[in-house]
Structure 1
Amino acid sequence: MSLFIGIQLFMIVLFLFFSWAIVKKEWYWLISNFNGKPKDEQQQLIKNGYPQRVGKLMLATAVGMGVLLPLSYTSFQYSIEVQLGFMMVFLLGGLIYLSKYEIKEKRRRSYIFSTLLAIGTIGFLVGLFFVGYQDFELKDYEDSFEITGMYGGEWEYAEIRHVELLEDMPEVTRKQNGFGLAMMAKGHFKVKDYGSSLLFIHKGSAPFLFIETDTNKIFINSKSPAETEGWHNILAEKSK
């Protein structure tokens, strides 16, 4: 969470800087493709107030992110999703609105492009979060076990070196390739004292099952403690 807060603070400062530079210093070259437009189009955009409104959009985004920042220090489970969602929706919605200040000949094209960009980006993020929040389970077969869902796989029981039930999840130090969501962690993460590991974790739902195979270190649990304990018993028995 501290890394995410640091990233948020950096983004807030960055948006404030861009807003100040565009509104106060008139550094319009900071606006994407502004310098690439013909001089007459640049002057028309300035006359329409387009650059100034871009700067004010940056300021409003920074203020909104600052207002939502304290959520990170509360017990609210979806603070990351809410804050990222606000930033994306506000910025993309703002770009659609700003199309009305484009030069008349390019206004329609700007509306279409901005709208398609917003729909595509938001659709991608919604799909990503939907896939990320899909649950997983451990399935027992005769000679192997499978962890279902994204980042899952199948391992032979003969590959298992060690199985252990932990009451506390070791500290996760860094995400390598995975989903670090409010209530769930899936994918490849660095774990203190264990190194690179595969996580399939419901946060705050002890106990946690640790499985070491010839090729992977895996942490997994269920929302149900009894089910996690059942997985442990099956793997401990079949890996003897």
Structure 2
Amino acid sequence: MTLFIGIQLFMILLFLFFGWAIVKREWYWLISNFNGKPKDEQKQLIMNGYPQRVGKLMLATAAGMVILLPLSFTSFPYSLEVQFGFMMLFLLGGLVYLSKYEVREKRKRSYIFSSLLAIGTIGFVVGLYILGYQDFELKDNGDSFEITGMYGEEWDYAEIRHVELLEEMPEVTWKENGFGLATLAKGQFKVTDYGSSLLFIHKDSQPYLFIKTDQDKIFINSKNSKQTAKWYELVTEKTK
């Protein structure tokens, strides 16, 4: 949690600095490709108020993130998603709107490009979240077991070296490659006392099944505690 709050504060300070530098110091070179434009286009954009509005958009984004920051200190489970979603939608929507202040000859092209960028980015992120929130299960394949869904794999029962049912999940300290979402964790994470581990975890849904194989350390559970217990019984029976 501390890490996420630190990242949010860094992003807020970054937007505040860029917004202040553009609006107050007129450091328009901070705007992507502004310095690469011909001098007459730069003058026209300044007359249209384009760079100033870009700076104000960044300041407004920072203000919105500050307003939403207290959510991180509540029990609301989707605070990170709400804050990230606001930042993405507000910035991308703002860039589409700012197309009207482009140089007249490039206004239509800018509007089309920024709209396609917004649609593509939002679609990609939504797709990732849909995949990330898809449920998983442990399936018996005879001589092996499989964990379904993204980051899932198949392991031979002969590879298993230890099986344990834990009432408490050890502290997860770092995400290496995966989804660390509000209600679940899926992928490769650093876990205290266990090191790099594969997680397929519904948060706050005890118990947790731990499986150690020759190559991997795996934590998995179901929203249903009885289902997790059945997985434990299955894997234990298969490794006798």
Aligned to 1:130: 130
Superposed displacement of residue 192, structure 1: 0.5
Letter in 2 for 1:113: F
- Secondary structure class of the residue paired with 1:199: strand
Aligned to 1:154: 154
- Secondary structure class of the residue paired with 1:36: coil
Map Cα deviations across residues 69-113 of structure 1 (whole Å, 9 max, x no partner).
111111111111111110000000000000000010000000000
Aligned to 1:118: 118
Aligned to 1:75: 75
Identify unmatched segments of 5+ residues in structure 1: none
Letter in 2 for 1:63: A
Superposed displacement of residue 226, structure 1: 0.5
Aligned to 1:187: 187
Would you say 1:217 and 2:220 are equivalent positions? no
Identify unmatched segments of 5+ residues in structure 2: none
- Secondary structure class of the residue paired with 2:149: coil
Q: Distance in 2 between matches of 1:141 and 1:99?
A: 55
Superposed displacement of residue 178, structure 1: 0.3
Letter in 1 for 2:219: F
Q: Distance in 1 between matches of 2:95 and 2:238?
A: 58
Q: Distance in 1 between matches of 2:157 and 2:20?
A: 61
Q: Distance in 1 between matches of 2:227 and 2:212?
A: 19
Letter in 1 for 2:105: E
Letter in 1 for 2:55: G
Q: Distance in 2 between matches of 1:52 and 1:36?
A: 18
- Secondary structure class of the residue paired with 1:95: helix
Superposed displacement of residue 67, structure 1: 0.5
Letter in 2 for 1:239: T
Map Cα deviations across residues 48-85 of structure 1 (whole Å, 9 max, x no partner).
00010000000000000011111111111111111111
Superposed displacement of residue 118, structure 1: 0.1
Letter in 2 for 1:84: F
Letter in 2 for 1:201: I
Superposed displacement of residue 141, structure 1: 2.4
Superposed displacement of residue 142, structure 1: 1.7
Aligned to 2:51: 51
Q: Distance in 2 between matches of 1:119 and 1:23?
A: 28
Letter in 2 for 1:155: W
Q: Distance in 2 between matches of 1:143 and 1:97?
A: 58
TM-score, scaled to structure 1: 0.99
Would you say 1:168 and 2:168 are equivalent positions? yes
Q: Distance in 2 between matches of 1:31 and 1:231?
A: 54
Tell me how many residue pairs correspond in the alignment. Answer: 240
Q: Distance in 2 between matches of 1:137 and 1:71?
A: 31
State percent identity of aligned pairs: 78
Letter in 1 for 2:115: T
Aligned to 1:89: 89
TM-score, scaled to structure 2: 0.99
Letter in 2 for 1:104: R
